[in-house]
Amino acid sequence: MIIFPAIDIIGGQCVRLVKGDYATASKVAEDPLETAKKFEAAGAEWIHMVDLDGAKAGYPVNTEIYKNIAQNTGLKVEVGGGIRTLETIRAYLDLGITRVILGSVALKNPQLVADAVAEFGTDKIVVGIDAKNEMVATEGWLETSEVHYVDLALEMMKAGVKTFIFTDISKDGTLSGVNVEQLRKLRDATDGKCNIVASGGVHTIGDIIACRDLGLYGTIAGKSLYQGTLDLRGAIKIAQTINIRTMTIDDYDALYAMWIACGNGLNNFDDSREGIEKYLNRNPKTSFVAEENGIVAGAVLCGHDGRRGIIQHMSVLPQYRRHGIGHLLVKHALAALKAEGIHKVLLVAFKENAVGNAFWEAEGFTLREDLNYRNFALSDMIRYDPKYE
C-alpha cells in the first residue's frame, strides 16, 4: 500500500483544514518544496497535493508550486483542485505532474472524465470522491449533492476510471481515524477492480494498518504527519505487505504458471527450466520475485550484457495488479543493475499493448517514435520487437 503525504495550498502556503472548512485553515509548514523534500527523504515516492484556492475558484491558482516540486524532487506528484478542462489536464501533465485528480467535474461533467481517460490513460486520471453523510460534495466541499458516493464510483468505472480517492469530509483534518465502514463499502462495491485511496482522519499507525488490511491501494496522511502523531517512515514500512526477493531456479514452476496466466509469449528454449537456469547463472542478482502472503504474485527476469540491462519478462498475476507490485519489481531490478554499474536498460514493447506501455512510461521509459523502441533515461536499446520491423 502506498502512503501519500499531503500538502494543501492556500495563497501559496502549506495549510490544513478541519472538515473542509476554509475558515479553519492553519499553516502547517513554511515552504512547500522543502516540505516535499523532507517527505522524500523519509522514503515517500508520491505526494498528494491540493490547490484549495483552485478548488474554490474552479481553475488552477497555485500551479507554479506543483511544477516546482515535480521538477525539483524525485517524487511522483498528483494534483487536484480546480481542474475542469482537458487543456488544464494536459498543461499539468506537460509540467511533469504524474497524474491529476478530477473532483467536482466527475459529478457535473462525467463526459469530460471519460474523454480525459481516453486521451491521457487510466494511469494519469484519478477521481476524487468527497462525501458528507455519504453524499458527494463538490466545489471545494461547499456544495453537497444528492448522489451517493458509491453510485458515483460505479458510474466513473463505466467511464474507464481505475483509481479513486475517497474522503469522508467529517473525518478530514480531525485526527479521528479513517472511516473503515465507508471504505469497505466502496471496496466491496468496486469488487477489487479499482485502486482505492483512503483520505481523511488518519491519526496513528493503527489507521495505516486498518487501510492496509482492507487491501486498499493507498492512504493519504496530512495533519497526522505535521502534528507528529504518525511517523512517515514507519507508516511506509508498516504499509508494505509485499516481500521482494532475488529469484532462484526453485521459483520456476510458479513463474511458468504465472506466465501462462498472464498470457505471456514463451519459447521452448529460453523460457524452459534449463534456459532460465542458465540465465540466472549469468545474472544471479538482478531478477526478482514478489511474494504476498507467501504467494508468488509477480516477477521480473532481468539481466545485462556488461553494458546494458535487459528486461526479459515482467509479470504480475491479474488479481494482484492493484498492489503496486510491478513498480516495486522494476525498482529493485533497476537498483540491482545500477549496483553492477549498468545504467542503460531496455525491454521489448508491443505497440498494441497500450496498458502495458503506459505502465512502462510511468516507470520512466520512453518511446522513440523514429526508431520504434523504448529506452530508460534516454539511453540506447539493443533488442527490437520484430513487430516494429
List the chain domain ranges. Answer: 2-239, 242-388
Please check whether residue 51 is in contact with residue 81, taking contact to mean a CB–CB distance below 8 angstroms: yes
- Note the pLDDT tens digit of each residue in 103-161: 888 888 999 999 999 999 888 999 999 888 888 887 655 566 788 999 999 999 999 99
Mean pLDDT of 348-360: 68
Please check whether residue 42 is in contact with residue 27, taking contact to mean a CB–CB distance below 8 angstroms: no
pLDDT for 389 beyond 70: no
The predicted pLDDT at position 21 comes to 72
pLDDT for 370 beyond 80: no
Maximum pairwise Cα distance, the chain: 67
pLDDT for 385 beyond 50: no
Mean pLDDT of 14-35: 83
For residue 23, how many other CB atoms are within 10 A of its CB? 6
CA atoms within 13 A on the CB side of 289: 22
What global pTM score does this model have? 0.70
For residue 10, how many other CB atoms are within 10 A of its CB? 21
Take residue 162 and report the three cell numbers written for it.
481505475
How many residues comprise the chain?
389
Q: Cell match 547463472: residue?
A: 281
Please check whether residue 280 is in contact with residue 273, taking contact to mean a CB–CB distance below 8 angstroms: no
Question: Which of these is catalytic: 8, 51, 207, 271?
Answer: 8
Mean pLDDT of 340-366: 75
Mean pLDDT of 209-235: 92
pLDDT for 386 beyond 60: no
Take residue 302 and report the three cell numbers written for it.
532481468
Question: Which of these is catalytic: 51, 53, 130, 271?
Answer: 130
Gyration radius from the chain CA atoms = 21
pLDDT for 301 beyond 60: yes
- pLDDT band at residue 376 under the 50/70/90 scheme: very low
* 130 assigned to active site: yes
* 168 assigned to active site: no
pLDDT for 47 beyond 70: yes
- pLDDT band at residue 378 under the 50/70/90 scheme: very low
How, if at all, do strands 135-138 and 143-148 pair? antiparallel
CA–CA separation, 205 and 239 (whole Å): 9
CA–CA separation, 354 and 367 (whole Å): 12
Which three-class secondary structure state does DSSP give residue 298? Answer: strand
User: Given this structure, which CATH class describes domain 2-239?
Assistant: alpha beta
CA–CA separation, 376 and 287 (whole Å): 17
CA–CA separation, 54 and 118 (whole Å): 24
The predicted pLDDT at position 158 comes to 92
Which three-class secondary structure state does DSSP give residue 314? Answer: strand
pLDDT for 369 beyond 70: no
Query: Higher-confidence residue: 292 or 273?
Result: 273
Backbone angles phi, psi at 22, to 5 degrees: -60, -25
Mean pLDDT of 34-43: 95
- List, in order, residues 6 or more apart from 328 with CB less than 8 Å away: 242, 244, 290
pLDDT for 279 beyond 60: yes
Strand-pairing partners, residue 48, are 6, 78
Query: Higher-confidence residue: 2 or 170?
Result: 2
Instruction: Tell me the CATH number of domain 242-388, given options 3.30.420.40, 3.20.20.140, 3.40.630.30, 3.40.50.720.
Output: 3.40.630.30
Please check whether residue 141 is in contact with residue 128, taking contact to mean a CB–CB distance below 8 angstroms: no
- List, in order, residues 6 or more apart from 331 with CB less than 8 Å away: none
Mean pLDDT of 261-280: 87
Strand-pairing partners, residue 196, are 164
Take residue 193 and report the three cell numbers written for it.
477492480
